[in-house]
Amino acid sequence: MAATCNAIVHIQEPFCKAEKKDLGVTKAVFYPWRNTNSIKLKKRSFSVIASGTSPLNIDTINGRKVNGTYVREAAIIGNKISEPHKESGVDTPLHAILLGRFVEQRFVYRQTFIIRSYEIGPDKTATMETLMNLLQETALNHVTSSGLAGNGFGATREMSLRKLIWVVTRIHIQVQRYSSWGDVVEIDTWVDAAGKNGMRRDWIIRDYHTQEIITRASSTWVIMNQETRRLSKIPEQVREEVIPFYLNRLAIAPEKNDNEKIDKLTDKTAERIRSGLAPRWSDMDANQHVNNVKYIGWILESVPINVLENYDLTSMTLEYRRECRQSNLLESLTTSSETLTEDSNSYNNRRPDLEFTHLLRMLADKAEIVRARTKWHSKQKQQE
């Protein structure tokens, strides 16, 4: 049975009528919204009607695809937005959504998210995996919205022509505070060069209402051939695509970033080992390997339960060594590297109460997949 529906969308950010420009750049035309019965907005809004019934309403906006939904402007009559056409006798539900947009002369991509019920843990706050997924989603949308996206998962056009993909080699995330269920967060992301053949991507997560920065993250990416699975230099054509988007800015100051080497764990140095971890088909991503966010859950499998219950994970560094496929069985190793010190009695000084070193490896041949370091703060101290 086919279902038909229409939807008026009220976007509370400075979105507008899209017009073509170079590299998919859009310019804004704003419309006022003064309906006092609606949510109060600090900024002007743009309204569109999304419809899935007309033959014209398939996959394009001004000739471009938008998630399988055709988007067109709603008519403005006086200070009100006209009612949408009713098709097939179905009333149009009202949906308020926030989409991503470019800011700061298109060097920074900004997107807003609501923390969903299925993205929180036992304490009703977002998990580290949730944060990593939001960072990844914002990064992919940045590439797509820039007009550079090719056929690959986050790859540019020139990369797709050469069957190249981006792979992350290292990521460091610092969490000041975890959002709760229903909270709205705003994420900024941008890119810059990392050496001759790498790219750095940074993120900042803010509380949408207070604008407090609650999370910072930085990562390093390199290019890999999708068929040979070998690392590649950045072709000059790809470099020319991405250089116009480079922004020389750091989300984490160098002295606060975790650039130290992560020691390798062995059977002798590990305090806890969890074996028999098996990737599922749903853990695979569009690049035909296990999504890098999935490793976090497996790494935490070997962390003592009392730590998970009584401490917040406030810092995590992941150092990726090799790919993981669905057929691989894994082992998670953990050992404590630091404990509470006299100088870390105050939660506000952000020194960790606990620190662990981790290793995720193949069960069969002990080949390393990910090295990691985590830092934890007591939940009790945070409440005090």
- Which residues are identified as catalytic? 287, 289, 324
Task: Return d(Cα 11, Cα 358) in angstroms, integer.
Answer: 43
Task: Return d(Cα 311, Cα 146) in angstroms, integer.
Answer: 39
Terminal-to-terminal C-alpha distance of the chain: 56
The 3-class secondary structure across 22-80, one letter per residue, is HHHCCCCCCECCCCCCCCCCCCCEEEEEEECCCCCCCCCECCECCCCCEEEECCEECCE
Task: Return d(Cα 199, Cα 139) in angstroms, integer.
Answer: 13
- Chain-centre distance for alpha carbon 116: 15
Task: Return d(Cα 124, Cα 117) in angstroms, integer.
Answer: 8
Q: Is the distance from CB of 141 to CB of 201 less than 8 angstroms?
A: no
Tokens of residue 73, six digits:
């402007």
Task: Return d(Cα 374, Cα 300) in angstroms, integer.
Answer: 10
- Name which of 278, 276, 360, 351 is nearest 318 in CA terms: 360
**Amino acid, res. 7:** A
SS3 81: strand
> Nearest 5°: phi and psi at 158?
-65, -35
The full DSSP string for 218-281 is EEEEEEEETTT--EE---HHHHHHHGGGB----SS-GGGS--SPPPPP-TTT-SEEEEEE---G
What are the residues whose beta carbons fall under 8 Å from the beta carbon of 87, sequence distance 6 or more?
4, 6, 51, 53, 54
Query: Residue written as tokens 């709603």?
Result: 74
Task: Return d(Cα 86, Cα 358) in angstroms, integer.
Answer: 57
Q: Is the distance from CB of 153 to CB of 144 less than 8 angstroms?
A: no
